[in-house]
Structure 1
Amino acid sequence: MVGIILASHGNFAEGIFQSGSMIFGEQENVKTVTLMPSEGPDDVKAKMKEAIASLDDQEEVLFLVDLWGGTPFNQVNSLFEAHKDKWVIVAGMNLPMLIEAYASRLSMNTAREIAKHILRTAKEGVKVRPEEIESVKATAAAPAQQSNAGAPGTFKYVLARIDSRLLHGQVATAWTKTTRPTRIIVVSDAVAKDELRKKLIQQAAPPGVKAHVVPVEQMIKLAKDDQHFGGQRALLLFENPQDALRAVEGGVPLKTINVGSLAHSPGKVQPNKVLAFGQEDIDTFIKLKEAGLDFDVRKVPNDSKGNMDEIIKKAQGELNRLRKS
């Protein structure tokens, strides 16, 4: 029997699993994977591997995830390449999709067969009242897409963000909805050398937006000669503050940097739930401030902004205490 893994931000996967069981009955070889607020990508990947290992058939697996480009999608996608002949990932999980997948397993033996079959049911399950709203043409959104362009022949930097997770759900949904970029550019020497990570980032781009990965020096060159980009709205993603500082010192004309998330590692302290600083990070943020940049410290647009001066002061105090202990 084809195994099914439901993956989501928060408890959505567990909730929809429970709903599916109420409607269609208890199911074997179905597992849930959740990303909780206190967890990161590595936690999700570990859960994903554990869920896969618990299935009777680990070759034929259908992954139903909540959001294309989100962390649950990205982590299963990072495992997908070695199994792409049989595994299938379907984003946009809803209850009609899940029930149809359960029913399809009774007569279909491959994840690909089931995936093809459930797509139509998933789309047809989205309905609205009053019915005339459904008749609105999707093409009505086309003019808005055209309005994303900036002045001809120049980049417009709509967001520059430091986030060790780079392109993930918060960026692919909340920030792109708010800033409306036409290009997402990951600026990182390390990622530019990693073909798998580059491919995963390109695949995680939201519809209508192209994702690129460039080394820091290449971004500096693009900033100085951006004529061939013809008015693109650019959202820049940096994996760490050091790459952001190199870009700014090299001439990338940024005025504000959004600080979203920095992963914890040995020797670092956590002044809040999502940021981990070592001494080099603190020194780098101070240099960015001295270069005239403002900091926008928040994970998503609706969050209240944190005070970077207070965060740095707290992190420095914790590092000093760590050294003395």
Structure 2
Amino acid sequence: MIGIVVSGHINFASGMQSAVKAITGEQEQMAYVDFVESMSTDQLEAQLRQAAKQVDSGDGVLFLADVPGGSPSNRASAILMDTENVELIAGANLPMIANAAFERDGARLKELVEVLLDIGTSCIQDMRAELDKIMASEPELELECEDGL
């Protein structure tokens, strides 16, 4: 199974950890590394390297970082450059992270990256435009709101 390391600024990773656990349940081979104000970027990289070692069972490690060009992404890039069988997606969102947990077993690392990029971008929607399309195609439709998760 592909190991996953989620990282981001302040409480991004720990917040995602809570959300992912609520959606998918407890997950093996997933680690979460917050980049907090008291850490140096060298400390961040050391924690990312340690997390990657902990989740790697030989099928590879996928880093999911919050902001392209941010310290978590940059330090994961350094690991990507000197470590085999590692990939990085920056700009990760909750649908990508939750689906990574579901899609990683039996997948190849590059395949998982492609799937998650599709999921992540398809989940970004202008809800006003989506509602306008629905109402234009079915003007008599009465919309019901569901609570969701």
* Residues 64 and 88, structure 2, Cα contact 8 Å, conserved in 1: yes
Deviation at 1:53, TM superposition (A): 2.1
Q: What is the CA–CA distance in structure 2 between the aligned matches of 1:44 and 1:124, rounded to whole Å?
A: 30
Q: What is the CA–CA distance in structure 1 between the aligned matches of 2:11 and 2:65, rounded to whole Å?
A: 12
- Equivalence for 1:114: 112
- Equivalence for 1:37: 37
Q: 1:83 to 1:59 in 2, by over 3 A?
A: farther
Runs of 4+ in structure 1 displaced over 2 angstroms?
132-135
Deviations 1:193-244 (A, max 9, x none): xxxxxxxxxxxxxxxxxxxxxxxxxxxxxxxxxxxxxxxxxxxxxxxxxxxx
Q: 1:98 to 1:132 in 2, by over 3 A?
A: closer
SS of the residue corresponding to residue 4 of structure 2 reads strand
Deviations 1:158-213 (A, max 9, x none): xxxxxxxxxxxxxxxxxxxxxxxxxxxxxxxxxxxxxxxxxxxxxxxxxxxxxxxx
- Equivalence for 1:3: 3
Deviation at 1:59, TM superposition (A): 5.5
Q: 1:78 to 1:103 in 2, by over 3 A?
A: same
Deviations 1:14-71 (A, max 9, x none): 1111101111111000001111012221110111121122124256001000011110
Q: Mark the runs of 5 or more structure 1 residues left unpaired by the alignment.
A: 136-325
Structure-2-length-normalised TM-score: 0.81
Q: What is the CA–CA distance in structure 1 between the aligned matches of 2:54 and 2:2, rounded to whole Å?
A: 13
1:67 and 2:67 aligned: yes
Q: Which amino acid counterpart does residue 73 of structure 1 have in structure 2?
A: S
* Residues 61 and 86, structure 2, Cα contact 8 Å, conserved in 1: yes
Q: What is the CA–CA distance in structure 2 between the aligned matches of 1:63 and 1:130, rounded to whole Å?
A: 32
Q: Which amino acid counterpart does residue 6 of structure 2 have in structure 1?
A: L
* Residues 4 and 62, structure 1, Cα contact 8 Å, conserved in 2: yes
Q: What is the CA–CA distance in structure 1 between the aligned matches of 2:132 and 2:49, rounded to whole Å?
A: 40
- Equivalence for 2:143: none
Deviation at 1:87, TM superposition (A): 1.2
- Equivalence for 1:90: 89
Deviation at 1:78, TM superposition (A): 1.1
Q: What is the CA–CA distance in structure 2 between the aligned matches of 1:121 and 1:36, rounded to whole Å?
A: 28
Q: 1:132 to 1:97 in 2, by over 3 A?
A: closer
SS of the residue corresponding to residue 31 of structure 2 reads strand
Q: What is the CA–CA distance in structure 1 between the aligned matches of 2:126 and 2:62, rounded to whole Å?
A: 28
Deviation at 1:125, TM superposition (A): 1.0
Q: What is the CA–CA distance in structure 1 between the aligned matches of 2:9 and 2:106, rounded to whole Å?
A: 31
* Residues 68 and 91, structure 2, Cα contact 8 Å, conserved in 1: yes
* Residues 2 and 105, structure 2, Cα contact 8 Å, conserved in 1: no
Q: 1:132 to 1:106 in 2, by over 3 A?
A: closer
Q: Map 1:188-199; keep pairs closer than 5 Å.
A: none
Q: Which amino acid counterpart does residue 87 of structure 1 have in structure 2?
A: V
Deviation at 1:128, TM superposition (A): 2.3
Q: What is the CA–CA distance in structure 1 between the aligned matches of 2:23 and 2:16, rounded to whole Å?
A: 11
* Residues 17 and 32, structure 1, Cα contact 8 Å, conserved in 2: yes
- Equivalence for 1:128: 126
Q: Which amino acid counterpart does residue 92 of structure 1 have in structure 2?
A: G
Q: What is the CA–CA distance in structure 1 between the aligned matches of 2:109 and 2:4, rounded to whole Å?
A: 9
Q: Which amino acid counterpart does residue 100 of structure 2 have in structure 1?
A: A
* Residues 52 and 58, structure 1, Cα contact 8 Å, conserved in 2: no
Task: Say what the alpha-carbon RMSD is for the aligned residues.
Answer: 2.1
Report the number of matched residues: 133
* Residues 20 and 95, structure 1, Cα contact 8 Å, conserved in 2: yes
Relative contact order (alpha carbons < 8 A, sep ≥ 6): 1 or 2 greater? 2
Q: What is the CA–CA distance in structure 2 between the aligned matches of 1:132 and 1:67, rounded to whole Å?
A: 26
Q: Which amino acid counterpart does residue 3 of structure 2 have in structure 1?
A: G
